[in-house]
Amino acid sequence: MHFWHGGRPPGGAPKPGPSIPLPKELSTEFRVLKPEALRFFREGGSLGLEVDGKIYENVKVVPLFPLSDDEGWISVIDEDGREIGIVERLRSLEPESQRALREELRKRYVVPRILKVRSCREHFGLVEWEVETDRGPRRFLTRNLRETAQRMGVRLMFSDVDGNRYDVPDLRALDPKSRALIERYS
């Protein structure tokens, strides 16, 4: 029997990305949304955008460089999956808009950042972590980090047994104890 390629890319099970339908026409135009001409607003469970007087309801936002630049390059997509444009800098928005957008981003891109490792215990080949994250305290289980962790320079990302990812943007920036604990298991 020959090895059958196809179906899905090789490698581990892909982590689901945001669920946004592909539009009929793909976007070819690079459009940066001018901060002074736009306003994000919250309405019930969804985010709305007013740009140049035009109102889009129920927009989706996707960080384009969530790891290397979490303060900018946000793609804004309308209900049909068409990209309305890109927000280049979060900080350039006026406070109200900025808050609404940041709130939405935090819901759509759930990758907690580890600020401190409280404890770390190995039992039965699993490591139980108790950490402080930018989303509050969390307790989770991982397998051996060496198999699951992704190192990108000083950054370390790893997944727990449920497939949740955790981000340590800069290992050197952690306190010595947290760092030692992470290094011991990775």
Partner 1 sequence: MGRAEGFPDPLPEGVKFSEQVRLCLEADLLPDGSFGRQWLVVAGDQVTILREDGRTTFPLRELKEPKAEPVVGGGILTAKHNGRPVELVHYTNSRSGKFSEAAKLLEKWSRGEEAEWEGKEEERCPKCGFPLEPGTKVCPVCTPKRRTLVRLAGYLKPYWPQAIGLSLLAILNTALGLLPPYLNKPLMDEVLAPKGHVAPLRERLKLLGILVIILALSRVLMAAVGAAQGWLSAWLGNRITHDIRSRLYHHLQYLSLSFYDRRQMGTVISRINQDTGQLQRFLVWSVQDLIVDSLLLLGIGVVLFWMNWKLALWVLVPAPLVTFVAQAFWHKLRLYMHRFFYRWSRLNALLSETLSGLKIVRAFAQEPREVSKFTKRSWELAYTGVQVERAWALAFSGTSLLIMLGTILVWYVGGRQVLFERISLGTLMAFLMYVGMFYAPMRALSWLVNWCSRSLTAAERVFEILDTRPEVEDAEDAVPMPRIEGRIEFRDVSFGYEKNKPVLKEVNLEVRPGEMIGLVGHSGAGKTTTINLICRFYDVDSGEILVDGVPLRKIRLQDLRRQIGIVPQDTFLFSGTIAENISYAKPDATREEIIRAAKIANAHDFILRKPDGYDTVIGEGGQGLSSGEKQRIAIARAVLHNPRILILDEATSQVDVETERQIQEAIGRLVKGRTTIAIAHRLSTLKNADRLVVLKEGRVVEVGTHDELMEKKGEFYRLVQTYREVSKVRAVER
* Binding residues for partner 1 (CB under 8 A): 1-8, 10-13, 15-19, 43-46, 58, 66, 103, 106-112, 123-126, 133, 135-138, 140-141, 143-144, 146-147, 151, 160-165, 183-184, 186
Radius of gyration of the chain, Cα coordinates, nearest whole angstrom: 20
Nearest approach in angstroms of CB 180 to partner 1 is 9
63 by DSSP, 3-state: which?
Answer: strand
Nearest approach in angstroms of CB 186 to partner 1 is 8
Nearest approach in angstroms of CB 3 to partner 1 is 6
**Judged by CB, which is closer to partner 1: 86, or 140?**
140
What is the C-alpha separation between 140 and 152, in angstroms, rounded? Answer: 22
**Judged by CB, which is closer to partner 1: 27, or 58?**
58
What is the C-alpha separation between 176 and 171, in angstroms, rounded? Answer: 10
What is the C-alpha separation between 180 and 34, in angstroms, rounded? Answer: 45
Nearest approach in angstroms of CB 173 to partner 1 is 19
What tokens does 79 get? 């209900």
Is the four-CA dihedral 114, 116, 118, 122 of positive or negative sign? positive
**Judged by CB, which is closer to partner 1: 36, or 124?**
124
**Judged by CB, which is closer to partner 1: 9, or 36?**
9
What is the C-alpha separation between 77 and 62, in angstroms, rounded? Answer: 8
Nearest approach in angstroms of CB 34 to partner 1 is 27
CA 37 from chain center: how many Å? 26
**Judged by CB, which is closer to partner 1: 23, or 137?**
137
